[in-house]
Structure 1
Amino acid sequence: MDAEQKKELEHIIQSYRDTNLDSINYWWEYSAFDTWRFWLTVILLLVPLVVLYFKLDRSRVYQIGFYGFAIHMLGVYVDTVGTNYGFWSYPYKMIPVLPTSFTLTSSMIPVAFMLMYQWQSRKRINYYLCAAGVAAVFVFIVHPIFKWLDMFQMYRGFNYWIMFVNYFAGAVMAKLFLNAFVYLNKQK
């Protein structure tokens, strides 16, 4: 690595540090433990996990859990890219250094899709229709409520229809990942 490249990399790393410090300072000022939005995010993180604990089909826990983990990871990647490129933001967060909404990507969305997958596979209802339904609930009901509460903002032409495509594409990819691993498991 030459000196110019090293200097540019150090500048980028310092920019990350400065941005993280700015995020932490913003969090302390507007989103910390003394705000109702912080506690709402905590409740919205915990309630779905408690519901999942009681509703999860224990006989299929690994399959449903893998599916939920795939939804979670895809959501984190998309949410990180979207926030880093300034398509949307979460002005009030539970964890200030994460660009994503920890509540949505780690609890609400994965749990909703896991319970949908569990239900639709037991009832043998079309997966894609059910996934579109869950995506529509989050895109056209949950996110507008978050926006109304000033807990979610969209920028640069991003809209709910693009968000719906992202949610649905994530559900399709998670199902493909699950199907691939189920297939590999049957091969042993």
Structure 2
Amino acid sequence: MIIPKEAAKKIDDVYKELVKADQKDHDIWFEYVFLSWQWWFCIILSIIPWILWWKYRKKESTHRLLSGAFFIMFISIFLDSFGAELGYWDYRYEPLPFLPSFVPWDLSLLPITFLIFVQIKPNISPIVKAVLYAFFCSFVGEPFFEWLGFYQSLKWNHLYSFPIHIIIFLIGYFLVTGKNFEELK
């Protein structure tokens, strides 16, 4: 074995404790969250924005726009999981108890908000749009979910999210508007 036995034993012990803690978390989720009004609200927030976007999207740009949305989803769920694991914040009403991130926010609200900002007023500077997007996400969205009790900031300030959202928006924007899309031959 490449890993020393003492290290492997410690890792195994910690893993067993994590499994026990996860099981307790899942039990609480099934008892208090699953099928509650908060759970249904999360399900609605995960589905309805996509349906509305699908109906009103700029159809000829669907693939281009989705590449930006998938980038936003990937980076958001990664950073959200990372922050939750480090104890910066916690979620109380996840639609799925198996992810340390807030699915409606990461996989629906953030990407759809990004898509709306990209599609509306295409001649406005991407920096202005990025600042507006970051302001909306950091100072409207996050406090709203904290007020509802879905999200609890432990060692995080909404101000920290602001520059992160600007950077994420700008990268997504340049993915969507870049000249990287060619016709397949």
Same fold (TM over 0.5): yes
Q: Is the contact between residue 94 and residue 103 of structure 2 (CA under 8 Å) also seen in structure 1?
A: yes
Aligned residue runs from structure 1 range 152-163, under 5 A: 152-156=151-155, 158-163=156-161
Corresponding residue number in structure 2 for 1:37 = 38
Task: Measure the CA separation in 2 of the matches of 1:175 and 1:142.
Answer: 20
Structure 1 residue 45: Cα displacement: 1.1
In the superposition, the TM-score normalised over structure 2's length comes to 0.89
Task: Measure the CA separation in 1 of the matches of 2:85 and 2:120.
Answer: 35
Q: Indicate the SS of the match to 1:183.
A: coil
Corresponding residue number in structure 1 for 2:49 = 48
Q: Is the contact between residue 64 and residue 181 of structure 2 (CA under 8 Å) also seen in structure 1?
A: no
Q: Is the contact between residue 41 and residue 103 of structure 1 (CA under 8 Å) also seen in structure 2?
A: yes
Residue 162 of structure 2, aligned match among 161, 164, 186? 164
Structure 1 residue 72: Cα displacement: 0.6
In the alignment, structure 1 residue 145 sits paired with structure 2 residue 144 = yes
Identity %: 20
Q: Is the contact between residue 23 and residue 97 of structure 1 (CA under 8 Å) also seen in structure 2?
A: no
Aligned residue runs from structure 1 range 117-132, under 5 A: 117-120=118-121, 123-132=122-131
Structure 1 range deviating more: 70-79 or 50-59: 50-59
- How many aligned positions are there? 182
Q: Indicate the SS of the match to 1:133.
A: helix
Q: Is the contact between residue 68 and residue 173 of structure 2 (CA under 8 Å) also seen in structure 1?
A: yes
Task: Measure the CA separation in 2 of the matches of 1:154 and 1:31.
Answer: 19
Superposed CA deviations along residues 116-135 of structure 1, whole A, max 9, x for unmatched, are 11224xx3211121121122
Higher percent of residues as helix: 1
Q: Is the contact between residue 126 and residue 170 of structure 2 (CA under 8 Å) also seen in structure 1?
A: no
Superposed CA deviations along residues 14-53 of structure 1, whole A, max 9, x for unmatched, are 23322321221121132111x1111111111111011111
Structure 1 residue 143: Cα displacement: 1.7
Which amino acid is the alignment partner of residue 164 of structure 2?
Answer: N
Task: Measure the CA separation in 2 of the matches of 1:125 and 1:148.
Answer: 32
Which amino acid is the alignment partner of residue 60 of structure 1?
Answer: S
Q: Which runs of 5+ in 2 are unaligned?
A: none
- After superposition, the Cα gap between the structure-2 partners of 1:19 and 1:179, relative to the gap in structure 1 and judged at 3 Å, is farther
In the alignment, structure 1 residue 23 sits paired with structure 2 residue 25 = yes
Q: Which runs of 5+ in 1 are unaligned?
A: none
Task: Measure the CA separation in 2 of the matches of 1:21 and 1:178.
Answer: 41
